[in-house]
Chain A
Amino acid sequence: MPVYEQSYRHWHGVLNPKTQQWLIIARSGIKMLWRRWMIILVGVASIPFFIRVAHIYIATRLGDTAQFGKFASQIQINPELFKNFINQQSFFILLIVVFAGAGLISKDKKFNALQIYFSKPLLKWDYLLGKFTIIGFYICLISLLPALLLFTTKVLLSDDLSFLKQHFWVVFSLFGFYLLITLIYGGLILALSALGKGARFAGISFFAIIILTGLIKKILSSEPSIGVISIGSDLQQMGDFLFNQPSSFAFPVWMAGVVLFGVSAICLIILKSQVRGTEVVK
């Protein structure tokens, strides 16, 4: 049959795109977000880092911290310090996640960009990985990167490598904790962003979920195991586990792991169903 008489034929081939599409999405997303307000936010979130640098300097150069009496344990540089640093950055992490992540998918839905994205040889997972990377980058800027810099500062200021030899595993713990935070917070904000066409809904809902689960824990504080529903507490509990610290809460680590796994599974299910190239109009 001549070509001009043939109508549309479905292609039965296998989609085998290059695997760097996610990097393109990530790079452009990071560039777009790197504006005045984000710079201010990252700047303000960096203040605790500088305070910690001073702390490490003082503690390392002074040597014997016993002279500080009851404050000695707080001044000591140990794995708990790095875990606490990331925990104390939680509020800034939440703000960064909201600022960076709330509009990532909702704006694409609002301006019908998803149809354009998926008309290219782009897999859904490329798209989502790219978006995750954007959030991960900004979380890294205020958590993992400064924590690694603090660790490096401690190693460099020490007279020998004993700290590094004893605590080299802290680096892996930092990476693990960072990845966990990115997965949970990133997954949650992206799922909420995918549910609507407004960044405001995603941002406020994200904060509401985090705060609400913490509030429920407070309201029902008489029952310690209830604390497992608080996402913040679960992350803290996992952090304690990763940094080989005693648990902060009464519920076991495995329960925290199950809850976080459940949250990330729900988020991934929402993302899988909501992120698509066609829109269903009812």
Chain B
Amino acid sequence: MFTALFNFFLSNQLKNRKTLIVAVAGIIPIFIVFLVKLLQPFISSGETSISSFYPNFTFLLYLHFLVPIIALFLGTGVIADEVEDNTLQYLLIRPVPRFLIVFAKYLANIFIGSLVIISSLLVTFAIAALGSSESLELGLSFLIYASGTFILGLSVYSALFTLLGGTLRHPMVIGLLFVFGWEKLITYVPGNAQYLTIMNYLQTLYPVSNSGSLSFLFCEISTMTALLVVSVLLFIFLGIACYLPGFKEYR
């Protein structure tokens, strides 16, 4: 039953125009890295060696932008898309528990989002590493940890936005407020306030050294703590998001 649901959502999403939009979002970093590489001889900076440019580039563009944006786009649509398009009734009258519908679609979205982000990351790395001698050693471990962090970030943000999408009337505005309002604002507030954002924990998991221009964004948390907190948050958001439709009416 779950496999059937997952396959259904995956095949539907893959043919959907929304997936194309997500894919276009994934191409943007490729385009930027390609441009930087092309204009490298003309740019006056020194930040074009892979070990200095690339981690910061992926930190800002992937972790702080692409992951939350894709999560917002896909996550808010898990229930909201079906309700808006009036297709939810086809699913509700199947002999499948409601929580499974939400979970299967959520997983299908994560699969697609992860595919786009990882592919984009690999291509940008390949372009950035072209002609650079320090690529491989830095690359593999960095790629693995970065990919893991992005997938985890995508999962927890998607779970949160799935919950918002299933409960609120305007999940997009609230989601934007959260990601680009609350999480950005708290970055500049010193002290314990940082623990109230998801990004803080994801930043800890990200394999960028805690120094340089981005050091002010970091808070002292151990990797295990960050991993535990993110996992718990994911479990809670997803749990509530899947549980709630069992009691809700969708007219």
* Closest A residue to B47 using CB positions: A222
Also in contact, A196 and B28, with CB within 8 A (given A37-B173, A203-B172, A215-B64) = no
Interface size class of A (residues with CB under 8 A): 20 to 34
Are A204 and B69 neighbours in the complex by a CB distance under 8 Å? Answer: yes
Q: With an 8 A cutoff between CB atoms, is A39 at the interface?
A: no
Q: Is A198 among interface residues, defined by CB-CB distance under 8 A?
A: yes
Given known pairs A201-B21, A201-B73, A222-B45, the reply for A212 and B65 (CB within 8 Å) is yes
Residue contact A95 to B73, C-beta cutoff 8 Å: no
Find chain B residues with CB under 8 A from A216 CB. Answer: 32
Q: Does A208 contact B (CB under 8 A)?
A: yes
Would you call B10 an interface residue if the criterion is a C-beta within 8 Å of the partner chain's C-beta atoms?
Answer: no
Of all chain B residues, which has the CB nearest A218?
B60
**Nearest B-chain residue to A202, judged by Cβ:** B172
The smallest beta-carbon distance between B161 and chain A, in angstroms, is 10
Interface residue stretch chosen among B76-84, B140-148, B150-158, B229-237: B76-84
Instruction: Give a binary string over A254-282; 1 marks a CB under 8 Å from any B CB, 0 the rest.
Output: 00000000000000000000000000000
Give the interface size class of chain B: 20 to 34
**Which residue of A102, A196, A219 has the most chain B CB atoms within 10 A of its CB atom?**
A219
Q: How distant is A89 from chain B, measured CB to nearest CB, in Å?
A: 13
| Residues of the A chain whose Cβ atoms lie less than 8 Å from the Cβ of B181 | 91
Q: Which residues A163-206 have CB closer than 8 A to chain B?
A: 196, 198-201, 203-205
Q: Are B28 and A95 in contact (CB under 8 A)?
A: no
B56 nearest CB across to chain A (Å): 7
Whether A211 and B180, one on each chain, are in contact in the complex, defined by CB atoms closer than 8 angstroms, is yes
A220:B36 contact, CB within 8 angstroms = yes
Q: Does B44 contact A (CB under 8 A)?
A: yes
Please give the residue numbers on chain A whose beta carbons come within 8 Å of chain B beta carbons, in ascending order. 37, 91, 95, 98-99, 102, 196, 198-201, 203-205, 207-208, 211-212, 215-216, 218-220, 222-223
Further pairs besides A204-B69, A211-B65, A211-B180: 9, Cβ < 8 Å: A37-B173, A91-B181, A98-B176, A201-B18, A203-B172, A207-B176, A207-B180, A215-B64, A215-B65
